[in-house]
């Protein structure tokens, strides 16, 4: 009778692959700022199943990267791109309005794979761009004075086709400043929208 009880308990406590994925996603999404790679390494070791880890990582990293406003450098070092919902033009593609380039991102590795010129429909009209770039210049001055390691960008989120005065358009300022020191067990993250 005791063996039957142990077998029953063991079968009742086994997690399904979907449950393992959800638990892994929870840990990844709740990693402290700048430490998701450390958490991912531990999650991978605990799971001991590359397929489950890969599924959890592919679902978690894009959300984590956007919510933490991570900044990635272009492969050709021509600029940086902030990973935000405002800069997202397509799955794994993010616009840098300052350079008018779109970066294709590997979320799990947190690197920019390649860059392409932005298409006309991804950019604001010349009329809106004049305002966007003027605001961007002022925000860059503010960030450089206030947050030495800060990154910023200004996005047109509504009305980017406006061609003349009298029509509404909307600009969003995103500032991300991070200072991580996991070896000293601390990290600070400032996110402004």
**Crossing angle of helices 17-29 and 50-67, rounded to 10°:** 30
CATH for 71-192?
Answer: 3.90.1150
Q: What is the pLDDT averaged over residues 46-52? A: 93
Domain locations along the chain: 2-67, 71-192
Q: What is the pLDDT of residues 127-171, one digit of tens each?
A: 999 999 999 999 999 999 998 888 999 999 998 888 887 788 999
What are the CA-CA distances from residue 105 to residues 21, 72, 98, 153, 158 (Å)?
22, 9, 18, 18, 24
Helix locations, the chain, DSSP H: 2-13, 17-29, 36-47, 50-67, 126-146
Please give the Cα distance from 145 to 131 (Å, whole number): 22
Q: What is the pLDDT of residues 94-120, one digit of tens each?
A: 999 999 999 999 999 999 999 999 999
Contact 39, 31 (CB under 8 A): yes
With a cut of 70, say whether residue 65 has pLDDT above it. Answer: yes
Taking the complete model, does pTM exceed 0.75, yes or no?
Answer: yes
2-67 CATH fold = Ribosomal protein S3 C-terminal domain (3.30.1140)
């Amino acid at each position: 009778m005791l063996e039957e009880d142990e077998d029953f308990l063991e079968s009742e406590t086994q997690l399904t692959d979907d449950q393992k994925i959800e638990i892994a996603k929870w840990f990844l999404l709740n990693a402290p700022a700048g430490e998701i790679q450390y958490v991912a390494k531990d999650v991978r070791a605990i799971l001991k199943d590359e397929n489950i880890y890969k599924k959890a990582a592919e679902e978690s990293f894009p959300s984590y990267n956007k919510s933490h406003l991570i900044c990635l450098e272009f492969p050709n070092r021509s600029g940086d791109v902030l990973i935000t919902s405002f800069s997202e033009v397509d799955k794994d593609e993010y616009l840098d309005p300052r350079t008018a380039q779109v970066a294709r991102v590997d979320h799990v590795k947190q690197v920019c794979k390649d860059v392409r010129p932005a298409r006309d429909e991804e950019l604001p009209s010349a009329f809106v761009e004049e305002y966007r770039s003027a605001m961007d210049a002022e925000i860059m001055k503010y960030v450089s004075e206030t947050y030495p390691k800060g990154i910023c960008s200004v996005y047109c989120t509504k009305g980017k086709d406006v061609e003349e005065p009298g029509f509404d358009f909307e600009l969003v300022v995103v500032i991300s400043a991070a200072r991580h020191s996991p070896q000293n067990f601390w990290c600070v993250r400032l996110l402004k929208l």
